[in-house]
């Protein structure tokens, strides 16, 4: 399948919005500018400078659906007309206090209920470290014993997570557990596995996320499948390449330990495709949520589906892209009848800025992605200009 139909890809965007996206991606493609801008923004946040209006008019409007769930509904409805479903995610990532964690729990539960009321919102996302202290995830993963107070805090964390999974099961909804940094992920894996075992008996409700830029994720996936087969539960896997490459490598260098990340983009791609093939070959026990802007990876799944005569709307295969990116994949896939989900972050601008910084940094680090966005937007602008003349 070719993804060159820019008329389909950008039909929801006005000329003004397209030009705005074009100049934004031009800025994001400049690594020096993004690095400097990120540092400056973090400093401005610490100093509590009024930078929210600038972000709202630029990066926020490109990558976020609204300030609230209700704000986001307008876009959800527009996407639904184009046969694209949505996944709302409260993108505020800083929740360090107990009160903040309880608020994150409330937001997740509200989003689950809100989403279940609408067929076009089949998934809800949860980042587990918004429900508990990051330090405890790290200690748990490193198998370091908790103090009595830490044990109590950890139990509160597990209770919050269980409440989310319990509500998911009661609603018959779908919950995506996000992947995080490698030093937190062992604890997250353990939690995700326990809740998949508990709630994924008949159908897949709880999904874990595997970042395939990690060298160990393919073997982890195979071992997870063995456990699931033995204990008779289904696994849901959101497959992505990864989001913390620079952070992971810097930490490994500082601690003088081997980096958990593949040495090259080529090795990551091989790892990713091997994981993809494994899930597809075990589709009777696995559900795939493909989070990718890589046209080759998407085409690989389409070819497999065609070869094995798997229906385009198979409930165990989902394709997903981020809002504001890879519209050429999302809209062209949806127009052909495949299950497509757009990731729609929302939240107060100031609280979402850390997420937006990470999004910009990721775009800069992914070779070829931003130039592709630019070339397709440019192609559509030329097509519109030719049509108008």
Q: Which domains does the chain show, CATH number per domain?
A: 65-369 (3.20.20.220)
User: How far apart are alpha carbons 186 and 189 in whole angstroms?
Assistant: 5
What does the pLDDT average to over 66-82? 95
**What is the reported pLDDT for 365?**
56
Residue 47 reports pLDDT greater than 80: no
What does the pLDDT average to over 159-177? 97
**What is the reported pLDDT for 40?**
82
**What is the reported pLDDT for 345?**
93
* Whether the Cβ atoms of residue 210 and residue 239 lie closer than 8 Å to each other: yes
pLDDT band of residue 362 (cuts 50, 70, 90) is low
- DSSP notation for 141-154: HTTPPPPHHHHHHH
**What is the reported pLDDT for 93?**
62
What does the pLDDT average to over 23-35? 81
Phi, psi of 195 (to 5 degrees): -80, -30
Helices 217-231 and 182-199: angle between axes, nearest 10 degrees: 20
Residue 286 reports pLDDT greater than 70: yes
Helices 15-28 and 369-388: angle between axes, nearest 10 degrees: 150
What does the pLDDT average to over 168-174? 97
């Amino acid at each position: 399948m070719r993804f060159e139909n820019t008329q389909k890809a950008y039909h929801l965007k006005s000329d003004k919005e397209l030009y705005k996206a074009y100049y934004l991606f031009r800025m994001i493609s400049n690594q020096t500018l993004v690095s400097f801008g990120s540092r400056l923004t973090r400093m401005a946040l610490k100093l509590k400078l009024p930078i929210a209006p600038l972000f709202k008019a630029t990066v926020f409007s490109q990558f976020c659906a609204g300030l609230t769930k209700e704000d986001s509904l307008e876009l959800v409805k527009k996407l639904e007309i184009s046969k694209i479903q949505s996944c709302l995610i409260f993108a505020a990532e800083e929740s360090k206090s107990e009160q903040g964690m309880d608020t994150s729990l409330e937001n997740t539960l509200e989003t689950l209920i809100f989403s279940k009321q609408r067929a076009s919102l089949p998934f809800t996302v949860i980042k587990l470290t918004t429900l508990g202290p990051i330090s405890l995830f790290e200690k748990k993963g490193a198998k370091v014993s908790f103090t009595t107070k830490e044990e109590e805090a950890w139990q509160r964390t597990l209770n919050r997570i269980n409440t989310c999974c319990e509500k998911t099961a009661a609603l018959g909804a779908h919950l995506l557990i996000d992947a995080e940094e490698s030093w937190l992920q062992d604890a997250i894996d353990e939690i995700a596995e326990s809740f998949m075992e508990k709630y994924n008996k008949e159908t897949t409700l709880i999904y874990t996320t595997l970042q395939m830029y990690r060298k160990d994720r393919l073997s982890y996936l195979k071992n997870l499948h063995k456990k699931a087969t033995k204990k008779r539960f289904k696994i849901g896997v959101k497959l992505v390449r990864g989001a913390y490459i620079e952070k992971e490598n810097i930490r490994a260098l500082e601690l003088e330990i081997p980096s958990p990340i593949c040495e090259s983009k080529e090795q990551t791609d091989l790892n990713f495709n091997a994981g993809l093939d494994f899930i597809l070959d075990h589709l009777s026990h696995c559900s795939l949520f493909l989070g990718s802007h890589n046209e080759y990876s998407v085409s690989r799944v389409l070819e497999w589906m065609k070869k094995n005569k798997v229906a385009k709307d198979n409930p165990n295969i989902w394709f997903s892209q981020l809002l504001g990116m890879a519209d050429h994949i999302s809209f062209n896939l949806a127009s052909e009848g495949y299950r497509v989900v757009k990731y729609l972050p929302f939240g107060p601008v100031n609280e979402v800025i850390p997420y937006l910084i990470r999004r910009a940094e990721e775009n800069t680090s992914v070779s070829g992605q931003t130039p592709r966005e630019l070339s397709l937007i440019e192609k559509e602008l030329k097509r519109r200009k030719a049509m108008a003349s």
